[in-house]
Structure 1
Amino acid sequence: MNPAKKAAEMTVRELARYIDQSVLKPEFTVGEIKRYAQEGIDFGCATICINPASLPIVAPMVEGTETGLCVVCDFPFGLATTEAKAMLAEEYCSKWKIEDLDIVANYGRLRSGDLDYVTRDIKAVVDACHKYGTLVKVIIETDFLTPEQIADGTRCAVAAGADFIKSSTGFVTGVPSVGATTEVVAAMMEAGEGKIKVKGSGAIRTREHFLELIDMGIDRMGVGYRSTPVVLGMTAEEARRLA
């Protein structure tokens, strides 16, 4: 999106609308899930991004608030069959009020140049989600991709009818995890040609980086529960008092 004003001039509440607060660590207890989800709600984040098993925990918490649900699908590897991905998306969206579903593309196939497969794989999920009004974000795990492959993955997501292209899962191992650099975000924006929204995720940990991406025109960012107060410059308790 093209922001109406500079990010540095925005209120905490306006900045929080760019954030999907990530509450995704597999080792989290129920208490930790509730704690970090509530912090995201108190900040006024766009969504809380959770694993599917957390839906019964977090769905009642966001009800009646300005914060929605974002659920990940086939996360973090994206290696289920196309049919299984679509079945998972149908399962989640048919039973819960989910604003966004973040699916992991088969980025091994993307690196292989099998773009028809990648597009079909994404489209099956898009078709399942859009029946229920759920937006689809496509993660292409950019740390493993060349600039050309990032562009190809973005174009696949556009062709499949997805709503967002997204950089990273935040669970990369084996390579340096740089995530949503300005170069990666710019590459997705350029390849998307305004036909798809852009979500940056991975290594968004400083306020300076966060504000810079907003000023570039990014639409959404995945921010870890520890980093949200850092990028917003305010604690959840302070944000709650201002709401």
Structure 2
Amino acid sequence: MKPTKSAAKMSVKELATYIDYSVLKPEFTEEEIVALTKDGVKLGCSTICINPLYMELCQPYVLGSDTMLCPVCDFPFGTSSTASKVAQIEMVAKYDTVREVDIVANYGHIRAGQYDKVVADLKACVEACHKYNREIKVIFETDALNQEQIKQTCKCCVEAGVDFVKTSTGFLTGFEAHGAAVETIQLMMDEVDGKCKVKGSGCIRTREHFLQLIDMGIDRMGVGYKSVPVVLGLDENGVSSDNY
């Protein structure tokens, strides 16, 4: 949904609500995960995206804040069985600190045109999330897909009752990285046509790009910890360069 005012006129607090703060690198220590979670909460980001293992670790640091945890299941490949995906969702969706769960679609099935399998997999995941009144975001890995495959996957998501469609994991190799390119986001917006929300992720590293996507009407963005202060217009001390 397009905002009622331009992104350039939004406060840091308003802009931060568009961000899912990504804390997903497998090499992160628990100490680093806690520090980054605290940072995301301090900034007022919408969620902290974490691997499911760290739910208990991170939960105390979001309690009492407006920031929630967003566990990312079957990450980053999306190639577990449906039963495994559902089991992962069941483990994390029960937490009160979770509002949304991200999962990865099986983009090998997408590339093969096996859309019936994609829909069946997503429907089971949607049912598991909605049972707990949690929303589900589905990562397409758009850099591995062509435009027609992206369109078809949007159709699959709408059919399955998905809440958000999402571009990338940020961990794909062997393909050019475009992530949340403006053209890709517009394609997804046009295809879902308001039937579900749109999240951009991957390659959101400049403030200009971040603001442009908000003005387009994007609903959420996954941003890495190094890029969060950049897109929010903060200096190295965390102070806004704008008068907001």
TM-score class, shorter-chain normalisation, is over 0.9
Report the CA distance between 1:194 and its aligned residue. Answer: 0.7
Q: Which stretch of the first structure deviates more once superposed, 227-236 or 154-163?
A: 227-236
Secondary structure of 2:94's counterpart equals helix
Aligned residue in 1 for 2:191: 191
1:1-36 CA-partner distances (Å, limit 9, x unpaired): 110100001000000000000000001011110111
The yes-or-no answer on 1:20 pairing with 2:20 is yes
Unaligned runs of 5+ in 2: none
Q: TM-score, normalised by structure 1?
A: 0.96
1:66-86 CA-partner distances (Å, limit 9, x unpaired): 101101000000001111111
Query: In the alignment, residue 213 of structure 1 is paired with which amino acid?
Result: L
1:201-238 CA-partner distances (Å, limit 9, x unpaired): 00000000000000110000000000000000115743
Secondary structure of 1:238's counterpart equals coil
Do the aligned partners of 2:168 and 2:201 also contact (CA within 8 Å) in 1? yes
Secondary structure of 1:72's counterpart equals strand
The yes-or-no answer on 1:144 pairing with 2:144 is yes
What does residue range 98-137 of structure 1 map to in structure 2 within 5 Å?
A: 98-137=98-137
Query: In the alignment, residue 85 of structure 1 is paired with which amino acid?
Result: K
Aligned residue in 1 for 2:210: 210
Q: TM-score, normalised by structure 2?
A: 0.96
Aligned residue in 1 for 2:239: 238
Aligned residue in 1 for 2:159: 159
Query: In the alignment, residue 70 of structure 1 is paired with which amino acid?
Result: C
The 2-side partners of 1:43 and 1:21 are apart by 10
Report the CA distance between 1:58 and its aligned residue. Answer: 1.1
Aligned residue in 2 for 1:169: 169
The yes-or-no answer on 1:97 pairing with 2:91 is no
The 2-side partners of 1:122 and 1:140 are apart by 12
Aligned residue in 2 for 1:182: 182
Secondary structure of 2:221's counterpart equals strand
The 1-side partners of 2:96 and 2:115 are apart by 31
The 1-side partners of 2:6 and 2:20 are apart by 20
CA distance 1:26–1:191, change in 2 (3 Å):
same
Query: In the alignment, residue 198 of structure 2 is paired with which amino acid?
Result: V
The 2-side partners of 1:95 and 1:218 are apart by 27
1:22-62 CA-partner distances (Å, limit 9, x unpaired): 00000101111011111111110000000011111111100
Aligned residue in 2 for 1:52: 52
Aligned residue in 2 for 1:37: 37
The 2-side partners of 1:95 and 1:230 are apart by 31
Secondary structure of 2:87's counterpart equals helix
Report the CA distance between 1:97 and its aligned residue. Answer: 3.2
Do the aligned partners of 2:62 and 2:97 also contact (CA within 8 Å) in 1? no
Identity of aligned residues (%): 54
The 1-side partners of 2:52 and 2:118 are apart by 23
Do the aligned partners of 1:19 and 1:223 also contact (CA within 8 Å) in 2? yes
Report the CA distance between 1:91 and its aligned residue. Answer: 1.5
Unaligned runs of 5+ in 1: none
The yes-or-no answer on 1:69 pairing with 2:79 is no
The 2-side partners of 1:180 and 1:60 are apart by 31
Do the aligned partners of 2:154 and 2:188 also contact (CA within 8 Å) in 1? yes
Do the aligned partners of 1:22 and 1:48 also contact (CA within 8 Å) in 2? yes
Do the aligned partners of 2:111 and 2:149 also contact (CA within 8 Å) in 1? yes
Do the aligned partners of 1:19 and 1:47 also contact (CA within 8 Å) in 2? yes
The 1-side partners of 2:3 and 2:149 are apart by 28
Do the aligned partners of 1:42 and 1:237 also contact (CA within 8 Å) in 2? no
Q: How many residues align?
A: 241
